[in-house]
Amino acid sequence: MFLAITATMAVILAWACVSGAFARWSVTAPVAMIVVGLVVGATSEHWILESLNTHTAQRVVEFLLALSLFDDATEIQARVVGRTGVARMLVAFVGSLALATFAGKYVLDQNSWALLLLIACVVMPTDLVPARAVLTDRRITQRVRDTLNIESGLNDGLAAPIFLFALEACKRSADSDQALEALGHAVPAVLKSVLVGVPVGAAAGILLTRCATRGWTEPHTVRCGLLAVPVLTYALAVLIDGNGFVAAFLAGLTYRTVHGDIPGEPLELTEGLGRFLSLGLWFIVGNIAIGIPWLDWHALVYGLLALTVFRIVPVWLALLGSHFTTAERIMLSALGPRGVATIVFGLLAVNGLTARSDIRLLVGVTLFVVTGSVLLHGIGAPLLADRLSRRPETAAAQNLPPRLIRREPSEPPKEPGP
């Protein structure tokens, strides 16, 4: 245990010193932590997977997800959403879940729709951590970067209640009556979450803004107060049998909507803690990957489809008729990295499932998707951006307002006659 803690903290410290230099070679923090996890897993006893299957570990992971959802929600700006394709991307996300669920019946050779939906909710939510350089890459148009950034936050919040419904259905059984009973439990839980998340987020935004304006507080205490919001919201929702994840996400959205000018980077502590804890999750991925026999052709094929077809086809169809150029549509379709949300959902699913065959299947798919995404999107995103940035339509889109961009005509305009 102490070997794992020592190695993890040492790598985090080292990464803080050289992250900028390694970024030039597309080496990201997830890559470094996965490698360390692999090394520690190969030289020590495999105790992590067993320790994760405990009630305490489940609560820690749940609080981490609530923190992540709150953080994602606070980054969503209404003025930015209006000029992106987020609405279409959310439609595409629902299509991706449906496609991954139905295709999984044949690829994974499973008949439990609850399990298939659960796996889809684990592997399809996007997270830009494996390809964070996308957000600052000027070769990618601003509206594409904004769309990807907002989408990664919104689809986590959308997937959370569906994930919990599927997990509850798996626990009860695949019987139709049992599944309807699980749905009957999920709907009231979401409604209770609205009654908790919206008031808490609004109260936090209004109170902190007014107190900061009148000089009643200090920047560092505001940061601590905001860190308490997702934890408070999650705990309150769970106490009344609500959905803590939805409550935390709604609290973040509401806070972002009502808060005013608060000096001193109020969300800095929340964001920093979330990133720090996520590094530990990447270490766990590497450690588990080498500690269990998870390589199965069903999981590999499904994982490859999840990273490509299940993302690309729904997004491309949803963007038909939009104002995005062809190059932008390719970028939005191809860039669907998986990260913290997939890992956390996977850990919660492992903790909730009882059948060993289901756990092994889910762990195999999750490991392949997150490690494959680190390589595919972490390395491939800059290469794709470089290739597509050379297109004339991409250069034009960098300088014109979104609604003025149109795809280039298939034929050049005719010269006027004499």
Question: Model confidence at 180, in pLDDT bands (50, 70, 90)?
Answer: low
Nearest residue to 158 (alpha-carbon basis) of 239, 230, 95: 95
pLDDT for position 402: 44
Residues of the chain by 3-state class (helix, strand, coil), percent to 5: 75, 0, 25
**Top-ranked range on mean pLDDT: pick from 127-136, 175-184, 293-302, 409-418:** 293-302
Question: Model confidence at 410, in pLDDT bands (50, 70, 90)?
Answer: very low
Mean pLDDT lowest for which of 121-125, 299-303, 328-332, 384-388?
Answer: 384-388
pLDDT for position 407: 40
pLDDT for position 181: 63
Distance CA 118, CA 116 (A): 5
Mention every residue, 6+ apart, whose C-beta is less than 8 A from residue 295.
Answer: 364
pTM of the model: 0.80
Distance CA 381, CA 372 (A): 13
Nearest residue to 366 (alpha-carbon basis) of 267, 270, 280, 285: 285
Q: How much of the chain, in percent, has pLDDT values that exceed 90?
A: 18
The 10 Å CB-count burial string (b at 16+, else e) for 37-67 is bbebbeebeeebbeebeeeebbeebbbbbbb
Question: Model confidence at 400, in pLDDT bands (50, 70, 90)?
Answer: very low
Q: For the residues of 178-202, what is the DSSP string, one character each?
A: HHHHHHHHHHHHHHHHHHHHHHHHH
pLDDT for position 369: 92
pLDDT for position 405: 39
Mean pLDDT estimate for the chain = 80
pLDDT (mean) for 52-75: 79
pLDDT (mean) for 293-320: 89
Question: Model confidence at 339, in pLDDT bands (50, 70, 90)?
Answer: confident
Question: Model confidence at 348, in pLDDT bands (50, 70, 90)?
Answer: confident
Q: Does residue 408 have a pLDDT over 90?
A: no
Question: Model confidence at 190, in pLDDT bands (50, 70, 90)?
Answer: confident
Distance CA 109, CA 119 (A): 13
Dump pLDDT digits (tens) for 217-250.
888 888 888 889 999 999 999 888 888 888 888 9
Higher pLDDT, 211 or 56: 211
* Contact assessment for residue 62 and residue 348, using Cβ atoms and an 8 Å cutoff: yes
Q: Does residue 322 have a pLDDT over 70?
A: yes
Provide the residue type at 150 as one letter.
I
DSSP 8-state code for residue 263: S
Mean pLDDT lowest for which of 91-100, 207-216, 391-400?
Answer: 391-400
Dump pLDDT digits (tens) for 79-132.
566 667 788 888 999 999 999 999 999 999 888 888 999 999 999 998 887 777
Q: How much of the chain, in percent, has pLDDT values that exceed 70?
A: 83
Distance CA 124, CA 311 (A): 8
Cα 183–chain centre separation: 24
pLDDT (mean) for 51-69: 78
Question: Model confidence at 1, in pLDDT bands (50, 70, 90)?
Answer: low
* Contact assessment for residue 245 and residue 194, using Cβ atoms and an 8 Å cutoff: no
Dump pLDDT digits (tens) for 266-295.
888 888 888 888 888 888 888 787 766 666
* Contact assessment for residue 388 and residue 331, using Cβ atoms and an 8 Å cutoff: yes
Question: Model confidence at 17, in pLDDT bands (50, 70, 90)?
Answer: confident
pLDDT (mean) for 7-14: 81
pLDDT for position 168: 83
Cα 381–chain centre separation: 17
CA distances from 35 to 40, 212, 290 (A): 9, 44, 10
DSSP 8-state code for residue 124: S
Question: Model confidence at 406, in pLDDT bands (50, 70, 90)?
Answer: very low
DSSP 8-state code for residue 339: -
The 3 state secondary structure assigned to 26-67 is CCCHHHHHHHHHHHHHHHCCCCHHHHHCCHHHHHHHHHHHHH
pLDDT (mean) for 22-49: 74
